[in-house]
Structure 1
């Protein structure tokens, strides 16, 4: 947990103005978080903290790369990370997460640890389908050819030379009823 102490920001003595911080997170950062999604990586975080009387606005810009394992080949590869996210910490009488972007913190809170926010924003920026870059080109070509649509065709339904599908006799009978 000592590794994560570097991500503590003392907010008690801060004036109501803008502050900027830079953090570098390596393998020790991801190991200290005790999670299985990311084991290794190197990311830089530029944080702009705007403090006011009622809230703190945290604007994160995170860049770098994290090591991932390809779902298809189980090869390790570096997934680039470049994300910008905002978090609002409103002062209140208790701690509560109101939404993904807004949290209440107690007025007497001395420090805010931003390690959890950095990890969550990195995790959200990663693709659901983890593919090594050499497979991405193949998938892009397939998507371009099909334009995202899968078309099923059965040649057994065609009976005429004009490539017109055969009409189901039940529909033909219903059509005769509607013509009357």
Structure 2
């Protein structure tokens, strides 16, 4: 059985016009994908708005909720709010094609559209690259920034290079001549 089937929006029996669907996204949803990202505790609602036309479908997928993340600095867990919206145009054609950015082509014989991949990508794109707990104080950040590799490199560049006494002796000989 296809585990992603729960995330299909069936449009074949719908009248032309606007329709709304809601999906609860939790830990089990993320386990359906091969991912390095660990979403241990998530409470996300995906609101899917479909506007059905005769020859194409317009989807607006809004996600809103919270996920548990691990702080990159302190390794503590914290709850991070996420919110994102994506718009996709689904048109009918010969075969499935998602090579265009905001347009997906599905076979004309299909009667449903699976939104699981779009929801997953929307959530992943909402996760910040640098995960910093909101409980870290400005003082703690200043202390941590003092030891960042970038600042250490700058400090090394600012220091005058120590001279080698052997070269100094050779320079003196050269200057005398």
TM-score (norm 2): 0.72
- How far apart, in 1, do the equivalents of 2:104 and 2:65 lie? 27
Aligned residue number for residue 36 of structure 1: 36
Aligned residue number for residue 9 of structure 1: 9
Aligned residue number for residue 24 of structure 1: 24
For the pair 1:100 / 2:84, whether they are aligned, the reply is no
More displaced, 10-19 or 56-65? 10-19
CA apart distance, 1:96: 0.8
Deviations 1:19-64 (A, max 9, x none): 1011111111112223221422110111110111221111111110
Structure 1 spans left out of the alignment, 5+ residues: 143-149, 157-180
What is the SS of the residue equivalent to 2:31? helix
Structure 2 spans left out of the alignment, 5+ residues: 143-150, 161-177
**Paired positions, count:** 148
Runs of 4+ in 1 over 6 A off after TM superposition: 150-156
CA apart distance, 1:68: 1.5
CA apart distance, 1:99: 2.3
TM-score (norm 1): 0.71
- How far apart, in 2, do the equivalents of 1:58 and 1:105 lie? 14
